Structure 1
Amino acid sequence: MKVIGINGSSHKEGNTAIIINTVFEELNKAGIETELIQLADIDIQPCRACLACKGHGNCVFKGDGFCDVFSRIVETDGIILGSPVYSADVSSKMKAFLDRGGVVVATNPGLLKHKIGASVAAVRRAGGMTAIDTMNHFMLNKEMIVIGSTYWNMVYGKDIGDVLKDDEGMANMRNLGQNMTSIMSKLNL
């Protein structure tokens, strides 16, 4: 079993990476392989809405890093989408990824069907629910099984490392990892 985390933050080792890695720790304890993809390192252009991806299983434009990342998540068992909150929603990198991925799956139904997914957000003040909702809607509209926890999947912190001070939020991330592990095990992925 394998889970890929997509970090939509501009800060590769920032708060979003910290919370994704906290979920990964629980998955790793159960022997589930994990991989973190940092969108900060990858150029992802916005979707052109040309619908040329229909029947191809991926975007037809290969000039950026989207196709590689998308093909990797199609091959995995689970996906964690993580974003900091910028202007009350997901980062622009995450939004570009979701928009392109959304059109590819809409024109090639079933690519992500029954994969396990979860969304996490690093939040300074507000907009966390909007960010989680944006990422969850991507997964729900792609027939994925979305995993929750004891509270909303967000952790508060401004500066890098501040999320570690949010005890409740970090406990929620560990519980999320345990819930993902449980469901993946029960589904024998």
Structure 2
Amino acid sequence: MNVLFLNGSSHVHGTTMRAIEEMIHIFDAEGVETEVFQTGAQPLRDCLQCGYCQTHDGCVIKDDGVNKFVEKAKTADAFIFASPVYFAHPSGRIYSFMDRAFFSRFPKDYEPFRFKPAAAIAVGRRGGTTAALDGLNKYFGLTAMPVVGSTYWNMVHGYDSADAPQDQEGLQTMRNLARNMIWLVRAIEAGKKAGIPYPQEEKGIFTNFVRRDM
């Protein structure tokens, strides 16, 4: 089993990473492999809506890690997308990153992400965490990814990494989230071994709410 994290913070060792590390402790104890992919602080461009990925393999922008992440996603069993909270929404860099990563999967028929469990984590000093989670969770819903929950909303509070241990319930939530994800991935694997197929999806219908025949 392999869980791929995306750290949407520009601070590699900040509060967001502290929340991630709390989950990694549980994964390590259960023999689950993990990898943390850092967006880092380098410039990260948003989706150009250019259509390149519809006819080519990957995004047309090739110098900021998005294509590398999608390649890793093909062999991952589950995902954690973690972000700090900026003005009650996720970081702009994780939005740009996920827009391009999820959009570029269309020609591959959802292949890197479809039916793989996912969870979002929001880290904030005070407010805005639930709004940030709402924004991140939308990616999973349109990609047929089971969304993993915990014993509270997936959030940790703290201005910096030194504050995080004081949010004991937040870190407990991270540990339970990791356990729930392990259980779900194992249940999916058991289903495969028992011969339970993935759902058959209808395809071909694409509607536009603006009528062009008037």
Q: What TM-score bracket applies, with the shorter chain setting the length?
A: over 0.9
Equivalent pairs counted in the alignment come to 189
Once residues 182 and 26 of structure 1 are traced to their aligned partners in structure 2, the CA distance between those partners, rounded to angstroms, is: 12
Q: Out of 36-45 and 164-173, give the one that drifted further.
A: 36-45
**Aligned match of 2:73:** 73
Query: Match for residue 14 of structure 1?
Result: 14
Write out aligned runs for 1:41-56 (5 A): 43-56=43-56
* Change over 3 Å in CA distance of 1:106–1:96 after alignment to 2: same
**Alignment partners' CA distance in 2, 1:34 and 1:121:** 19
- 1:174 and 1:110 map into 2 onto residues whose CA distance is 29
Matched residue type, 1:48: L
Corresponding residue for residue 168 of structure 2: 167
Percent of aligned pairs with the same amino acid? 35
How far apart in 1 are the matches of 2:131 and 2:106?
22
- State the Cα RMSD in Å: 1.7
Kept in 1, the 8 Å contact 2:84–2:123? The answer is yes
Cα separation, 1, equivalents of 2:90 and 2:53: 24
1-side partners of 2:4 and 2:61: how far apart? 23
User: Partners in 1 of 2:136 and 2:145 — Cα distance?
Assistant: 12
Pairs within 5 Å for 1:20-31? 20-31=20-31
| Structure 1 position 13, deviation (Å) | 0.7
Moved over 4 A (4+): none
Q: Name the counterpart of 1:126.
A: 127
Segments of 5+ residues of structure 1 without an aligned counterpart are none
Equivalent residue of 2:6, what SS? strand
- Equivalent AA in structure 1 for residue 68 of structure 2: D
**1:150 paired residue number:** 151
Cα distance, 1:126–1:141 mapped onto 2, change above 3 Å: same
The secondary structure found in structure 1 opposite 2:23 is helix
Unaligned runs of 5+ in 2: 191-214
Displacement after TM superposition at 1:161 (Å): 2.1
The letter for the 1-side match of 2:180 is: N
Cα distance in structure 2, aligned partners of 1:141 and 1:24: 27
How far apart are 1:57 and its partner, in Å?
4.6
- State the structure with more CA Rg: 2
Contact 2:67 2:101 in 1 (8 A): no
Question: In the superposition, relative to structure 1, how do residues 55 and 77 fare at CA in structure 2: closer, same or farther (>3 Å)?
Answer: farther
Which AA in structure 2 matches 1:10? Answer: S
1:52 and 1:81 map into 2 onto residues whose CA distance is 25
